[in-house]
Amino acid sequence: MRTIIIAGNWKMYKDLSETRELVAALKAAMPSLPEHVESVICPPYPSLALAGELLKGSPFHLGAQNMSQHDEGAYTGEVSAKMLKATGCTFVILGHSERRQYYGETNELINAKARKALSAGLRPIICVGETLDEREKGVTGEVITTQIKGVLASIPPQDMARSVIAYEPVWAIGTGRTATPQQAQEVHQVIRKMVAQLYDWALAERIVIQYGGSVKPDNAAEILSQNDVDGALVGGACLKADSFSAIIRAARQ
């Protein structure tokens, strides 16, 4: 049985006092997690060190929403893997569609970041997903295949086993429009087959593939019940402890 990983992407929400409140509420709502379920919260950079302190002794992992592909240097505004680790991060989201769309991140750059994260001992949550236009043109499979090949290039098998892939159809992020469980399952199967082709089936069977795109307490159980859906990357619904904890509970219903 694969572990289910529910990750919360706080995006550019929650200052320090709000971080304090949300972490306290999450810890109170979920002093422990269901068996075989892990959860990661990904606050913005300024809140990471505080969240890392507050999460000590709790079942939640800490993750960042982005990182540099470089170790260190004159890269104004960037944050390295080593810096993230020092705050207590064990995960990092890479290649979120908002990074691709607003900051021009390419598969090549995301791949460089993923390799850097892995070599630093972080687990990357690598995002892929098609736009509405691509889905309507019927090219979802090709788009996902190209993205997967690009973002996973040269990642050795032992590192791949620690990586998480998040399938996030761009048209479902923050829109309230969710992929049907069948649509999600179809693409997750394509991704698992791709991983099997690039590596082997034993590895593909172990990889956690999350779905992201308007996951809420009322649709989480059905999406997460699909064979190849091994977790969720949650945006809007992770900003409140009651909705995020309801999604975590739905993972093992």
Residues lying near ligand PEP in the complex (CB under 6 A) are found at 9, 96, 168, 173-174, 212-215, 233-237
The least CB distance from residue 69 to ligand PEP, in Å, is 21
List phi, psi (to 5°) of 123: -95, 115
95 near 151, Cβ under 8 Å? yes
From the candidates 96, 105, 130, 134, give the one annotated as an active-site residue: 96
The least CB distance from residue 154 to ligand PEP, in Å, is 26
CA 95 to each of CA 19, 55, 80, 148: distance values in angstroms, whole numbers, following the listed order: 24, 25, 15, 11
Q: Which two tokens stand for residue 18?
A: 């709000």
With respect to ligand PEP, which residue has the nearer C-beta, 22 or 204? 22
From the candidates 38, 98, 134, 168, give the one annotated as an active-site residue: 168
The least CB distance from residue 196 to ligand PEP, in Å, is 25
With respect to ligand PEP, which residue has the nearer C-beta, 172 or 194? 172
With respect to ligand PEP, which residue has the nearer C-beta, 17 or 175? 175
**Catalytic: 96?**
yes
Torsion of CA 190, 192, 195, 197, to 10 degrees: -60
DSSP structure string for 45-105: HHHHHHHHHHHTTSSEEEEES---SSSSSS-TT---HHHHHHTTEEEEEES-HHHHHHH--
With respect to ligand PEP, which residue has the nearer C-beta, 19 or 210? 210
Instruction: State the DSSP code for 161.
Output: T
**Catalytic: 168?**
yes
249 near 26, Cβ under 8 Å? no
Report the distance separating Cα 163 and Cα 215, nearest Å: 21
The least CB distance from residue 11 to ligand PEP, in Å, is 6
With respect to ligand PEP, which residue has the nearer C-beta, 51 or 204? 51
Report the distance separating Cα 226 and Cα 228, nearest Å: 6
Question: Hey, which residues are catalytic here?
Answer: 96, 168
